[in-house]
Structure 1
Amino acid sequence: MASNTRLQIIIFTISLCNLSLMSSSSWRSLDTQTDYRKWVSWNVENYRKKTALQPQSINETPSGGGGKALDIKLSKAEMNKVTMTVSQDGTADYTTISDALHTIPLYNTRRVILVIKPGVYREKVTVPRALPFVTFLGDASDPPTITGNDTASVIGRNGVPLKTFQSATVGVDANYFVAINIKFENTAPHVIGSAGGQAVALRISGTKAAFYNCSFYGSQDTLYDHTGLHYFNNCFIQGSVDFIFGYGRSLYENCSLNSVAKKVASLTAQKRSTSSMASGFSFKDCVVTGSGTVYLGRAWGDYSRVVFSYTFMDKLVLPQGWSDWGKKKLDS
């Protein structure tokens, strides 16, 4: 079970998402792993110097870090954890994930760990913004699957199409969300040339979120890395078109990206829209494999920012690497 120390490390690692996307004239040549570690250490020290005098109170909105304390809100939440169990066989506290979430008090200040037993959970799950500090914890030997098949074109209860945002099987709006050993899935197939085929397995819109040993299965738009600071470690992400996309500021470490594209597609679609926007995806020590022919990314925004470092890329990756999405001004 996630310990106090481990979860604090998670949040500290997420803070490094800022750093992995920074650049400096002092560290222009990164020839080895040693250089990389030195570069990260330099950035950490520089970041600490800049933020050392910034106060951090319990009422602060979560941001990129700073202050003398790591994260007061998180520390307090971890000191008073509560655990709930979910299982479809009736032997746990709840039979559905949604039922368990509905019992958590609004504006919760405690770490709530939902221990989700193995099984296939066919439900549309939303973690609202008013429920921070929620953890989904599965069994590493038999991870539970949360599955759905909504697409952007599906008509919702209000009589209008869901669109991409609402197509997610699991949507997280809360801050401080953690998932460990969970399989997120959207089984809607990708039909080439069809409109409204976006089918999100997970949408993460809260900040300071972490995912360990999780898998994300989908086709078009699998993982909506919407907005906020996010850390992915030892995760498997599969899709066909733009299957990691959004405005997020995220670090992917030791992750596997698997394409199931039938023709030419793109792994990422990052939407950094201005030069001042703190947004971008960083992939370190990852593996890119699968079918089809893929670009590493295409420029959804005018200032899209994606970095791959120390990553194995199979022959499916196009030599030019990137697509400007038809915007000639981005050919640089």
Structure 2
Amino acid sequence: MLMMGLLSSRVVFFLFLVFVIWVQVDFAEGSAGNYISWEDLRVNEQMLSFEKSHNEVRIIVVNQNGGGHSKTVQGAVDMVPNNNKHRVKIYIYPGIYREKVYVPASKPYISFVGKRNQTASAVITWNSKSSDKGANGQALGTYDSATVGVDSDYFCATEVTFENSVIASAGGKGMQAVALRVNSPRAMFYRVRIKGAQDTLLDNTGTHYFLKCRIIGKVDFICGSAKSLYENCRLQSVAENYGAIAAHHRNSPKEETGFSFVGCSIRGTGSVYLGRAWGNYSRIIYSKCNMDGIINPEGWSEWNRPDRKKTAVFAEYECKGKGADRRYRVPWSKSFCYEEARPFLDKSFIDGEQWLRL
């Protein structure tokens, strides 16, 4: 009886152990982690030819010349099931993909990955502008002019170019032409190029991280209401005469949003403002950035709304270069000390400890 009881206890313990291991494995394989990691931005390019199907390996290959799972980027996005719980990597072969792409909120955990060290080789491009008519006969507006729109949570992209090829001149009506619109609750962009003229990057809503990206434009080429950190990015003006880098929209001091640029380089042509107050409480901070002489000496604009001088938060901290000379800055802009700048200097500004594992 003693032996039978001992054996029975061991069987129960063994079954319990198997159950625990099964639960752990099932949990690990059943859903993606609620974070973005370096692994989410990697694809083993040497092994792509051996992959059998996107369902098996969770990699969808886009090749406009055939030989992949899809010839278009949108076709690859459409292959991802709604409410997917796994990370799906869409590997985009070099080429110019002339299409509009939408990644909906119903498809989280998607990565766009281009060929390693060739950011300019996979280009998603279109040429819609805000004054163009949509299918309903109405003007598209800035929002729907986007070449690529992303609402997907935990979205990330690397080594890809997002482009809107509309050529806009400063002050032109209806010439807003978005290359990338981001409404993701959380998203990361690493070594991507975002190219356009007016409103190039509509960093619309959510919390986002841009690392070592190149963003090109003329007027308000980084705009929106998001809470985003731009770290070690290259901000390149292609303005002929005048323009502006950033236009942030914030309606209340209670809104925890803003654009923080840290360690970025500002280069290019024209005479550009660092930022314009799109909303009453617009918030833009440049820290430890290297500014070329293209910066308008005044630095900042209240968008012809004098009342915004009292409420907008426009600040600089330890910036260098010819454009960082603050002697002629508008008096209502701020020169931050370390304690004032500290909340905006790293990933804690975007609560990165909660959703980034880098």
Tell whether the structures are fold-level matches, with TM greater than 0.5: yes
User: What does residue range 148-159 of structure 1 map to in structure 2 within 5 Å?
Assistant: 148-159=126-137
Unaligned runs of 5+ in 2: 1-31, 41-55, 310-331, 333-358
Contact 1:145 1:185 (C-alpha < 8 Å) held by counterparts: yes
Contact 1:135 1:178 (C-alpha < 8 Å) held by counterparts: yes
Instruction: After TM superposition, give the deviation of residue 263 of structure 1 in Å.
Output: 1.8
The aligned residue for residue 73 of structure 1 is 34
Structure 2 distance, partners of 1:184, 1:72, is: 27
AA aligned to 1:296 is: L
**1:81–1:209 CA distance, 2 compared to 1 (3 A):** farther
> Which moves more between the two structures, 140-149 or 164-173?
140-149
SS in 2 for 1:237: strand
The aligned residue for residue 285 of structure 1 is 263
SS in 2 for 1:156: coil
Instruction: After TM superposition, give the deviation of residue 136 of structure 1 in Å.
Output: 0.2
Structure 2 distance, partners of 1:83, 1:184, is: 21
**Counterpart among 153, 169, 174 of residue 175 in structure 1:** 153
The aligned residue for residue 139 of structure 1 is 115
The aligned residue for residue 294 of structure 2 is 316
Residue 68 of structure 2 is aligned to residue 107 of structure 1: no
> Which moves more between the two structures, 111-120 or 97-106?
97-106
Contact 1:84 1:112 (C-alpha < 8 Å) held by counterparts: yes
Instruction: After TM superposition, give the deviation of residue 191 of structure 1 in Å.
Output: 3.2
Structure 2 distance, partners of 1:186, 1:264, is: 20
The aligned residue for residue 22 of structure 1 is none
> Which moves more between the two structures, 96-105 or 235-244?
96-105
Contact 1:201 1:223 (C-alpha < 8 Å) held by counterparts: yes
Contact 1:129 1:175 (C-alpha < 8 Å) held by counterparts: yes
User: What does residue range 79-90 of structure 1 map to in structure 2 within 5 Å?
Assistant: 82-90=58-66
Contact 1:81 1:110 (C-alpha < 8 Å) held by counterparts: no
AA aligned to 1:167 is: S
User: What does residue range 244-283 of structure 1 map to in structure 2 within 5 Å?
Assistant: 244-283=222-261
Residue 192 of structure 2 is aligned to residue 239 of structure 1: no
Contact 1:81 1:113 (C-alpha < 8 Å) held by counterparts: no
Structure 2 distance, partners of 1:223, 1:85, is: 26
Instruction: After TM superposition, give the deviation of residue 173 of structure 1 in Å.
Output: 1.1
**Counterpart among 293, 297, 304 of residue 275 in structure 2:** 297
Contact 1:183 1:216 (C-alpha < 8 Å) held by counterparts: yes
AA aligned to 2:279 is: G
The aligned residue for residue 200 of structure 1 is 178
**1:185–1:72 CA distance, 2 compared to 1 (3 A):** closer
Residue 104 of structure 2 is aligned to residue 128 of structure 1: yes
**Counterpart among 305, 308, 314 of residue 327 in structure 1:** 305
Percent identity over the alignment is 43
The aligned residue for residue 220 of structure 1 is 198
The aligned residue for residue 97 of structure 1 is 73
SS in 2 for 1:243: strand
Structure 1 distance, partners of 2:131, 2:64, is: 30
Instruction: After TM superposition, give the deviation of residue 188 of structure 1 in Å.
Output: 0.3
Aligned length: 260
Q: TM-score, normalised by structure 1?
A: 0.76
TM superposition outliers: structure 1 runs of 4+ over 4 Å: none
Instruction: After TM superposition, give the deviation of residue 140 of structure 1 in Å.
Output: 2.7
Instruction: After TM superposition, give the deviation of residue 208 of structure 1 in Å.
Output: 1.3
AA aligned to 2:208 is: H
SS in 2 for 1:73: coil
Structure 2 distance, partners of 1:114, 1:151, is: 27
Contact 1:81 1:111 (C-alpha < 8 Å) held by counterparts: no
> Which moves more between the two structures, 189-198 or 227-236?
189-198
Q: Calculate the aligned-residue CA RMSD, in Å.
A: 1.7
Structure 1 distance, partners of 2:70, 2:239, is: 38
